[in-house]
Homo-oligomer: A and B are copies of this chain.
Amino acid sequence: MTVRQDIHNSDIPVLCQACEARHHGVCGALDPNKLVALAKTSSRRQVDAGTELIGDAEAIHSYANVLSGVVKLTKTLSDGRQQIVGLQFAPDFFGRPFRAESAINAEAATRVSLCSFPKAALERIMKESPGLQGRLLGQTLKDLDAAREWMVTLGRKTAAEKIASFLLLIARNIDRVSDPNMRTAAFDLPLTRNDIADFLGLTIETVSRQLTKLRADGVIRIENNRHVVVVDISRLEARAGS
């Protein structure tokens, strides 16, 4: 990708010029001055799948934009039962404003690249840029909508419908099938069977059986356990129980 060199971009920190978050993420609310200030304290990094980003009941030191990969947010009961309560895809923002402690655990589900900045820096800039607070509210509302949507899936859908809903969620976020005339999709699953089970409130065996059933029915193909080809998206939607 070539970086545009016109006069406007010259004010934008190099780090941010090609960043998706600058257009659709929280950084889009910032003028060049603020962006420079934030970029000074921010740092990009790549982490492997399985890296813990925010520990449950740990102090929160930083916020981050997800630039690529998938971050899973989990909660765990005292006896070890686990539930994934959210997935963050690029260019989502994550972190917990206005709270010293996090009630959830954030972990890289895949290899993830992040742009993170210290809590203090973001909160200072937030005071000066009301637009940033609005973006943050927007992100939070989006997360809330997603959480409530998933509550329906968890509380009222069958195992078969849960799996179909999950595959659609991934297809829409990884393969970006918002286009309704797109008939097919293909992607690598960002989650293991164990993660999928923890996301859907099922066991790994049930997840496996339902995937096998979708494959046997010709709705999907699975290659190497992780790569999924959705043969016909509308057939998958029909099984997701809208």
Q: Footprint of B on A, CB under 8 Å?
A: 73, 75, 77-79, 81-83, 85-86, 96-99, 103-104, 130, 133-134, 136-138, 140-141, 143-145, 147-152, 154-157, 198, 200-201, 241-242
Using A151-B147, A156-B201 as known contacts, say yes or no to A78 and B141 having CB atoms under 8 A apart: no
- Which residues from chain B contact A73 at a C-beta distance below 8 Å? 148
Whether the pair A86, B148 counts as a contact (CB closer than 8 A) is: yes
Q: A141 to B79: give the CA distance in the assembly, Å.
A: 27
Whether the pair A79, B241 counts as a contact (CB closer than 8 A) is: yes
- Which residues from chain B contact A150 at a C-beta distance below 8 Å? 151
This protein's copies in its complex: 2
Whether the pair B241, A85 counts as a contact (CB closer than 8 A) is: no
Whether the pair A143, B145 counts as a contact (CB closer than 8 A) is: no
Q: Which residue of B is nearest A133, CB measured?
A: B133
Whether the pair A77, B152 counts as a contact (CB closer than 8 A) is: yes
Q: How far does the Cβ of A161 sit from chain B's closest Cβ, in whole Å?
A: 9
Q: A82 to B148: give the CA distance in the assembly, Å.
A: 12
Q: List 30 A-B contacts (CB under 8 A).
A: A75-B149, A75-B152, A77-B152, A77-B156, A77-B242, A78-B241, A78-B242, A79-B241, A83-B152, A83-B155, A85-B151, A96-B141, A97-B137, A98-B137, A98-B138, A98-B141, A99-B141, A103-B149, A130-B130, A133-B137, A136-B137, A140-B140, A140-B144, A143-B144, A147-B147, A150-B151, A151-B151, A155-B198, A155-B200, A156-B201
